[in-house]
């Protein structure tokens, strides 16, 4: 059984440092894969050190190894936790603060003797009433890579809607970003470089065993990080930091 840490308004797994609940803000699947070496569709998995397939190794795990490794607790209070992962001469530190808002900070250090690059994303599954009614604001005019269309480069026009499968990497994404779910939603603020919008829609969603029959309708992923053109390169000993704060709106 995977080790779970409990807070007054949050739950987190040491496996993958995956936040699985915070208030009622995060989607949790009906049949999660609580197994070592696996991840599931829900909460906040951390994607590192590559996004999607590894460019030079098609057999490498999708979205990197950070979300399937066992992390260690660096510090913990009643309302916060800091976790660390040392792997392949990377030092990854992830801190969450659980208050009226959800605050996250990611810190990446290159401990190798040469410069290296990485991609990263906080793969947040936001709980929504019905994905077909959701809009995302803040990405208008940006260039994005459209995965269902063979990663074609396109320009966003207006708000993002989910009328079918959506899987897009937005480059040079600004802060803040907004999820509108009727009269409520979420506001994201921080200093990321890229943003991702994702929902698999019915055909793919129903084929994912952990989601159940209609789980795909009840979440939207708005991920922030550094991906594709926004990949980060670090010199030996250099550290990169990203911050995210999520607030409820409405």
Q: How confident is the model at residue 30 (pLDDT cuts 50, 70, 90)?
A: confident
> How far is Cα 186 from Cα 236, in angstroms, rounded to an integer?
37
Q: How confident is the model at residue 114 (pLDDT cuts 50, 70, 90)?
A: very high
Q: How confident is the model at residue 73 (pLDDT cuts 50, 70, 90)?
A: very high
Q: How confident is the model at residue 212 (pLDDT cuts 50, 70, 90)?
A: confident
pLDDT in tens, 99-110: 999 999 999 999
Q: Which of the pair, 31 or 243, is modelled with greater confidence? A: 243
Global pTM reads 0.95
To the nearest whole number, what is the mean pLDDT of the chain? 95
Over residues 182-187, the mean pLDDT reads 97
Alpha-carbon separation of residue 175 from 106, 109, 237 (angstroms): 17, 24, 28
Q: How confident is the model at residue 1 (pLDDT cuts 50, 70, 90)?
A: low
What domains can be seen in the chain, in order of their start residue?
4-249 (2.70.98.10)
Contact indicator for 183, 250 with CB cutoff of 8 Å: yes
């Amino acid at each position: 059984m995977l080790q779970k840490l409990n807070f007054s308004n949050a739950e987190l797994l040491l496996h993958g440092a995956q936040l699985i609940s915070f208030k009622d803000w995060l989607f949790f699947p009906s049949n999660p894969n609580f197994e070592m070496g696996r991840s599931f569709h829900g909460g906040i998995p951390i994607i590192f050190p590559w996004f999607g397939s590894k460019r030079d190794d098609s057999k490498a795990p999708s979205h990197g190894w950070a979300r399937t490794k066992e992390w260690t607790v660096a510090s913990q209070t009643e309302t916060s936790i800091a976790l660390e992962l040392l792997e392949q001469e990377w030092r990854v530190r992830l801190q969450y603060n659980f208050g009226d808002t959800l605050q996250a900070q990611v810190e990446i250090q290159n401990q190798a003797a040469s410069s290296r690059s990485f991609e990263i994303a906080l793969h947040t599954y936001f709980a929504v009433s019905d994905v077909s009614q959701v809009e995302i604001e803040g990405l208008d005019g940006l260039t994005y890579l459209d995965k269902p269309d063979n990663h074609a480069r396109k320009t966003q026009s207006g708000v993002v809607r989910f009328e079918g499968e959506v899987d897009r990497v937005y480059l040079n994404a600004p802060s803040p970003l907004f999820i509108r779910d009727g009269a409520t939603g979420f506001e994201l603020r921080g200093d990321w470089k890229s943003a991702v919008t994702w929902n698999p829609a019915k055909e793919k969603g129903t084929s994912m065993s952990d989601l159940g029959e209609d789980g795909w309708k009840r979440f939207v992923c708005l991920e922030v990080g550094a991906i594709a053109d926004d990949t980060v390169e670090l010199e030996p000993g250099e550290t990169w930091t990203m911050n995210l704060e999520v607030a409820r709106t409405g």
